[in-house]
Amino acid sequence: MTLQSVQKFIQRAASNRKRSVRARLKKKARFEKQLYKAALDSNNMVTVMRNDYFKLDVKPRWMKDWNAGPLAPRHDLGMAPGEFGTLDGYDFINYTVPPQNSSKWIYPFREGDTVAVANGRYKGRIGKIEHVELRTADARLSGINKSDLRKSEEERFATGSKDPYGTQEIPLRMDDLRLVAFVSKTGQNGIKAEQPVIVDAVTLLHADDLPRFRPELKGSKEYREPVPPKLFKHKRHADDETVVRFIAGTNIEVPWPHNEPDLVDEHDCDTKRIEVEDATYMPQLHQAPLPDGLIDELRNKYSNYRVRHDPEYLAKRAYEFQKAEDLKNPDLNHIRTPLQEMRWQQNKKAAERTSEEEAAHERLMRGEISLVQYLAIKHKVPEERLAGILPATAGEQRPSV
């Protein structure tokens, strides 16, 4: 291989690598564009539904009530009594955020965190997060921003409730939430106590970056800047155990919330633990461990790497193997063509001749016959024809072989 061919090979490999990277980036950009378009379509649909609902129902009713004053009619009557003033399910739907902003590392909130509302009607209220929706970047707080939700007939029938509405929390945007951390401080009397602090900015760090992240090392070569949250989704095994939260600008860690097990009420009719752990099934030797046909559902029956076979398949393979061995055995009576019969006779005579020659050679070596007799047996000629050429009798000295 010449130098020119090697250079061509390297150039071709480099161009193929660049082409694959370019194709992968183009495919990724096309996929993100489709996601962005889907989010935009969803937001447009929500906007249209809200505008239609406001124009057709809410705004005319408000104007009518304002103009009528104390003579305004009662709306809580008619086909849907008790539903006046309640919200529809569409009012609980927020706008979908772009996919690049829907990662769980953009917002450092999880279920069970204590947060404070920074904007809106409930500004200053503190509550716990019940549910986080990353697709719309909102969170539902316990006991905050409650509203009456209209129920359908199916929901009433499923829950067994006769009320036409139910109270539920409306999700809040996570941009309007701030994390509440409990920081231990020492008071004037020297006693440490945990004090809630509203954190305006949170720094997320991967566990690999913790040894080299210390504010006192800032400015030295050993200092490592915090990794942007959007890069955590590209790290391997990035979860709440390998990512740590810090208050921005400090080394105060904010632990992730722990999911407490649900308390279950015990009753006298509950099964006891000792009865659950008791081994009541004793397998027996005369019973198969699995029913017939179940192993075919657990293992691929037609895999090239299977080790279990059906009895019919094993019998078929054994028959084929025995048939091939029988064809190799010439002593068995099989139907042969004339050519096969001639070759079989020749092979049989050659085998007999070889056996006779070996027996005569052994007798010659033991001195029981002479060389003339051995040659007569080997070449199938009378001894008298060989007597004048090589006279020999039994009892002469042993010839060298």
pLDDT in tens, 344-380: 888 888 888 888 888 888 888 888 888 778 888 777 7
Rounded CA separation 375/392 (Å): 11
In a domain, 71, yes or no: no
| 303 and 395 inside one domain | no
| 58 and 115 inside one domain | no
| 111 and 231 inside one domain | yes
Q: Mean per-residue pLDDT for 305-332?
A: 83
Q: Determine which of 72-76, 151-155, 276-280, 387-391 has the lowest per-residue pLDDT on average.
A: 387-391
In a domain, 285, yes or no: no
Domain that holds residue 158: 85-259
Q: Taking Cα atoms as reference points, which of 168, 140, 160, 163 lies closest to residue 151? A: 163
| 192 and 153 inside one domain | yes
| 377 and 389 inside one domain | yes
Taking every pair of Cα atoms in the chain, the longest distance, rounded to a whole number of angstroms, is 156
In a domain, 162, yes or no: yes
In a domain, 277, yes or no: no
- 85 compared with 310, residue with greater pLDDT: 310
The pLDDT of residue 234 is 45
| 235 and 346 inside one domain | no
| 102 and 247 inside one domain | yes
In a domain, 276, yes or no: no
- Residue type for 167, please? T
Convert the pLDDT of each residue in 165-196 to its tens digit: 778 888 888 888 999 998 887 777 777 788 88
Q: Which residues contact 64 (CB under 8 A, 6 or more apart)?
A: 72
Q: Is the pTM of this model over 0.75?
A: no
| 109 and 236 inside one domain | yes
- 242 compared with 110, residue with greater pLDDT: 110
- The domain tally of the chain equals 4
In a domain, 370, yes or no: yes
Q: Taking Cα atoms as reference points, which of 196, 204, 232, 16 lies closest to residue 116? A: 196
The pLDDT of residue 317 is 92
